[in-house]
Structure 1
């Protein structure tokens, strides 16, 4: 880390040392003992401008206090069938670790529907996964590997992407905004796999709209990305949709324990049991009640809205040109013709 970066972290730390309760308590929950790494994440998100990063972190801490985020891991989504419905329609899970110890999170972008529960349940579930990652998964990995591990990798499965995905852009934008504002720079690399042609068409126009630091993190892999991903992780840590010999995926795997989206997967079982246990510890004499944990939904950033509108426009144009309204997974990215990996600059 350069001198300029270290100076910025030192200035930022001096400002945060002045924070008082209740922000101080939730700040400790955020950094989990890795204060320098946390400050660096917020500085990166604001181009190393200490003043802007300080405001961003204070806004995040106030959001956490106002919405009682520190308590969200004590609020299970019940009954289990409701949470299973959330898992079946917001496909996300953790499949393992990279060889460097970074947790591998998988996202079924193409097949997620967000149509089985209210927006509040989806936000509650997503934030719980974020908090469990930051409070349990990453600190455990840091202790195991003997060094700070504060980021992970994401594998985004575009299988089954349809033009009807336009209906989900609002939900995806809300989730992205929550992450951008309150969990910045938590992803080391994004790997995109099983991408249909429509994604390629959208990517060409969306890519220039992204900030450079984001573009550098994104790699579009050929087919299901298996060969490239095996360079950074063992076979056991591959998401289930990357383990097939050819490209393509499905919502469900043949084995529940292998499908990292399923509630039956060990990661989701551990998370769900952890939340239920914390709930019983906090209110041992009270029955667990059904009800979503409401979080203030943010106004999407201008950049996010511009990207969403661009995607919508491109997909409509694609539909007009091709008369396509069903799944687009059968159409390959042009770059796949020579089986090379397409890396973003």
Structure 2
């Protein structure tokens, strides 16, 4: 496979003729490039008017390769043929080089060009591209590729430094100007020093390249190296090459708006600069943006009033690194109420608008702080988080939002500070962490309780003056305080007909009828102690009491027969009893949680960390059931009689899940450990 590399445009803030004088001093050898052993001119010619000069050189390189590889190859030096064409009239120098050694096994081709800056004729541009095609090399193809990549990166890095070194040398010798070519005059690199009166004025040090994300010239595939460093950050030569090549590919193949360089770079970073993988996810994201008109979201999206009043998130200054700071008071947010009032799509749209606003703020801060700022910091306050936040449609909405954001906004989160994580946090973390990219998880810093106020806490990342008042700071924060969304704002079932919330309720929730004297029970087998049983149920009708029991032996499951010997199944098939009437509480089974009374219309979420393996029974029973009925079930005839009394019927919709003990312990360690003594654990994936 042919590997291709392309460097950004390097700009020398000196005239072309002076740069050419500096370039000629690289030959026949250059002490700044130890591997450049020698060069011999094998052919040289000039046009009649002297405007064009061609030179062909044979160059010897002492490649930095393992000695064993050199012995196997049978060579000490690698020879290259370099052909230079200098056009003094057009003010260009084109350089082509290829390897002479091992040309039947490895093909290396490199092209370079010096030309006049398109916007300032007193500046000179330099561009470089290369290709590598390894057909065979004694079984060391991978090693040779790595060596070639290393040499290319070194060449790119050294090239500009060498020219600038010789430019300074010329200046010290008094050569600060070389006349341009005219039909009657040939300017040679050995031009005599000129007097100060004939020198050109000092070249301004401010680039004429606009300070925005635009290319160097009208040829949109050109990027300036100084622009990359100023607006995109320090990149290795190979990373620069990936950015430019992917940008060119998009311009040649993509139909539609070409994303900004910062956007392309995020996808490359997300895939460790693997061109093929980055190109795949970027193209998918560009298609998604076009389908959903995301480019126009900030101009077209208006948050519903319920979001403005009850969505507890907002932008708040910036962190110590200049990154925009977003604060989310998740513990104060009524996630269930927002999903019920808005539906998933509106919530997703709102989160996308936050991400788009974050990108805009990064661009602004890049200009303000004079350095590349490509991501933001998010501070999540979990005070008030409880099992109510684990309402399953809400969790699934969160998972979908995470999936969409991960796919379309990679490398936009610089740091996530999670504060005041309560004991219930490990349950939420265990549910959502598998859907978060590993590189993203490394950016999470979690504090339990008030640990964030001490050494290594919030002040390490946010200036003390802007810490919000609700975090014991002095800065007033305009993030809404949240609260419960009034049920009067909930959307009706008809309005949610096409929403995923209704579908989730039908597919992941089970319904059960509860009669006076006939509770509904669910069996869960636990193999590993310290596993976590979670539940989420809505009381649709009537008042119920919720219990959890443990037994070392398995109850006999009821037969499908409605009048099974060990339980009763209602005609609808949604009432199951498991506790045998012969069992005695305290002997055959035990209660592991205090009874919980739940009223009609309530939504209940909770969890239980199991202490022993065995069988756990979740029970929903009629609220007015006599206390003894849990241990001594009524006769079948009595229960059948109660089925006819509609006022003695309750209904619940429930969902349960068991979280593995290993995952839960890891999450719990991360959330409740001391940030001072257990710093490594807080990073979760480091």
Name the residue aligned to 1:316: 534
1:210 Cα shift?
A: 5.3
Give the TM-score normalised by structure 1: 0.66
Paired residues of 1:222 and 1:340 also in contact (CA < 8 A): no
SS in 1 for 2:460: coil
Shift in CA distance, 235/260, structure 1 to aligned 2, threshold 3 Å:
farther
**How far off is 1:218 after superposition?**
1.0
Structure 2 counterpart of 1:242: 471
Is residue 138–residue 150 contact of structure 1 (8 Å, CA) maintained in 2?
yes
Give the distance between the partners of 2:363 and 2:244, measured in 1 at CA: 23
Q: CA 1:206/1:166 → structure 2, altered by over 3 Å: closer, same or farther?
A: closer
The question of whether the paired residues in 2 share the 8 Å contact of 1:190 and 1:219 is answered with: yes
Distance 2:606 2:478 in 1: 21
The alpha carbon displacement at 1:184 in A equals 1.1
Give the C-alpha shift of residue 179 in structure 1: 0.9
CA distance in 2 between partners of 1:314 and 1:240 (Å): 35
Residue 92 of structure 1 deviates from its aligned partner by 1.5
Task: Note the C-alpha offset of 1:141.
Answer: 0.7
Q: How does 1:253-268 map to 2 (within 5 A)?
A: 258-261=477-480
**How do 1:160-171 and structure 2 match up within 5 A?**
160-167=384-391, 168-171=394-397
Task: Provide the aligned length of Structure 1 versus Structure 2.
Answer: 274
Can you list the C-alpha shifts for 1:134-173, whole angstroms capped at 9, x where unaligned? 12x1121111001221101111122222222222111211
**Cα distance in 2 for residues equivalent to 1:205 and 1:130:** 23
1:177 Cα deviation after fit: 1.6
CA offset digits 1:7-58 (Å, max 9, x no partner)? 433332232232444233xx2xxx3xxx1x4323112323432112112111
Q: CA RMSD in A?
A: 3.9
The one of 126, 134, 139 equivalent to 2:359 is 134
Map 1:182-261; keep pairs closer than 5 Å.
Answer: 182-200=408-426, 203=429, 211-224=437-450, 225-227=452-454, 228-243=457-472, 258-261=477-480
Q: Provide the residue aligned with 1:113 in structure 2.
A: 334
Counterparts of 2:373 and 2:395 in 1: how far apart (Å)? 31
CA distance in 2, matches of 1:181, 1:205: 19
**Cα 1:57/1:173, change in 2 over 3 Å:** same
Structure 1 pair 101–176 and aligned structure 2 pair: CA distance change class (3 A) = same
Distance 1:111 1:176, change over 3 A: same
Shift of 1:91: 2.0
User: CA separation of 1:260/1:141 partners in 2, compared to 1, >3 Å: closer, same or farther?
Assistant: same
Q: Does 1:101 align with 2:322?
A: yes
| Cα offset, 1:187, TM superposition | 0.6
TM-score of the pair, normalised by structure 2: 0.35
In the alignment, structure 1 segments of 5+ residues that lack a partner are 246-254, 264-295, 297-312
1:96/1:238 contact within 8 Å kept: no
| 1:77-136: CA deviation from partner (whole Å, max 9, x where unpaired) | 37xxx42x213433211121112211111122233224232323222222222222212x
The 10-residue stretch of structure 1 (188-197 or 107-116) with the greater mean CA deviation from structure 2: 107-116
Structure-to-structure mapping, 1:1-345, within 5 angstroms: 1-24=235-258, 27=259, 31=260, 35=261, 37-77=262-302, 82-83=304-305, 85-114=306-335, 115=337, 116-135=341-360, 137-167=361-391, 168-200=394-426, 203=429, 211-224=437-450, 225-227=452-454, 228-243=457-472, 258-261=477-480, 314=532, 316=534, 334-336=672-674, 343-344=682-683, 345=686
The structure whose RCO (Cα within 8 Å, separation 6+) is larger is 1
Equivalents in 2 of 1:337, 1:122: separation in Å? 33
Measured after TM superposition, the shift of residue 203 of structure 1 is: 4.4
- Tell me: CA distance 1:21–1:242, structure 2 relative to 1, closer, same or farther (3 Å): same
Label 1:118 to 1:222 Cα distance change in 2 as closer, same or farther (>3 A).
Answer: closer
**Normalized per residue, which structure has more strand?**
2
Q: Which residue of 2 aligns with 1:250?
A: none
- The answer on whether the counterparts of 1:107 and 1:154 sit within 8 Å (CA) in structure 2 is yes
2:267 and 2:278 in contact (8 A); partners too: yes
Q: Structure 2 vs 1, CA of residues 207 and 173 (structure 1 numbering), >3 Å: closer, same or farther?
A: closer
* Partner SS for 2:461: coil
In 2, Cα distance between the equivalents of 1:208 and 1:326? 21
Q: 2:403–2:435: 8 Å Cα contact kept in structure 1?
A: no
Q: CA deviation at 1:229?
A: 1.4
**Residue pair 2:310, 2:480 contacting (<8 A) in 1 also:** no
Could you tell me whether the CA contact under 8 Å between 1:240 and 1:258 is conserved in 2? Answer: yes
Maintained 8 Å contact 2:420/2:449? yes
Cα distance, 1:178–1:314 mapped onto 2, change above 3 Å? farther
Match of 2:557 in 1: none
Per-residue deviation, 1:76: 4.3
Residues 337 and 77 of structure 1: CA distance in aligned 2, closer, same or farther (over 3 Å): closer
- Do the aligned partners of residues 235 and 19 (structure 1) sit closer, same or farther apart at CA in structure 2, a change above 3 Å counting? farther
